[in-house]
Amino acid sequence: MKSAVVVFPGINRETDMMRALEATTGNKPVSVWHTDAVLPKVDLVVVPGGFSYGDYLRCGAIAARSPIMKDIRAKAQKGLKVLGVCNGFQIVAEAGLLPGALVRNAHLHFVCREVKLAVENNSTFFTNRLKKGAVISCPVAHGEGNYICDEETLKALEGEGRVVFRYTQGTNPNGAMNDIAGIVNKAGNVIGMMPHPENMIEPLHGKTDCRPLFESLLAA
């Protein structure tokens, strides 16, 4: 499996993500700079977390208009798998690849801690190695992770099984609607999530709950 990790000014989780991908898939990802116009030929592109452009304007708004995102958007429409994590979720949402938006946490504070995630959809390219309803631990680190959307979009997400992850056991850290932590597009090839699964795959992380997510990539 060939993968690429996109790097923007201010992104700071690209190394973590690349390590996670290499450790679980056996292949070293390529790093793609935001001003590149064309992606290399890959099976998966990951937009990692951090603070692209210092989170000015809206989080992810500037990065979503970078040259590389134009090519990612075009190739995603043709089926390329895209994973956006934390700031990456904000970026792909701002780029129109996923519905809704990520806004300030309801309590207006940055949050950095462990949460519990319920796997709501285990048929995606990132969850197929887990059972539906499985609860895993995963860290979060964000100030704008409060997922919102209009009622029609929310009804579609819930009715079509497009909520992939949901905060559970009272651990919602940001006030997201319906405890939504991650969603997938209608075509099933773009996933966005706020928690950081790349930081819970090795024993040194304290837990390996999120390793099956990356192993799902190979299975897919």
Report pLDDT for 57. 83
Taking only the tens place, the pLDDT of each residue in 106-128 is: 999 999 999 999 999 999 999 99
Hey, which residues are catalytic here?
Answer: 86, 196, 198
The arrangement of strands across the sheet holding 111-119 comes to 30-33, 3-7, 44-47, 81-85, 190-193, 180-184, 163-167, 111-119, 135-142
pLDDT one-digit tens code per residue, 168-217: 999 999 999 999 999 999 999 999 999 999 999 999 999 999 999 999 99
2 has a pLDDT exceeding 90: yes
Amino acid at 118: A
Closest alpha carbon to 99 in 173, 46, 39, 151:
151
For the segment(s) 3-219, the CATH number from 3.10.20.90, 2.40.33.20, 3.20.20.70, 3.40.50.880 is 3.40.50.880
**Mapping DSSP to helix (H, G, I), strand (E, B) and coil, where does residue 40 land?**
coil
What pLDDT, in 10s, does the model give residues 52-89?
999 888 899 999 999 999 999 999 999 999 999 999 99
Report the C-alpha gap between 137 and 173 in whole angstroms. 13
Output the pTM of the full model. Answer: 0.97
pLDDT for position 99? 98
For the chain, the structural domain boundaries read 3-219
pLDDT tens digit string along 139-162? Answer: 999 999 999 999 999 999 999 999
Is residue 36 scored above 90 in pLDDT?
yes
State the amino acid at position 39 in one-letter form.
L
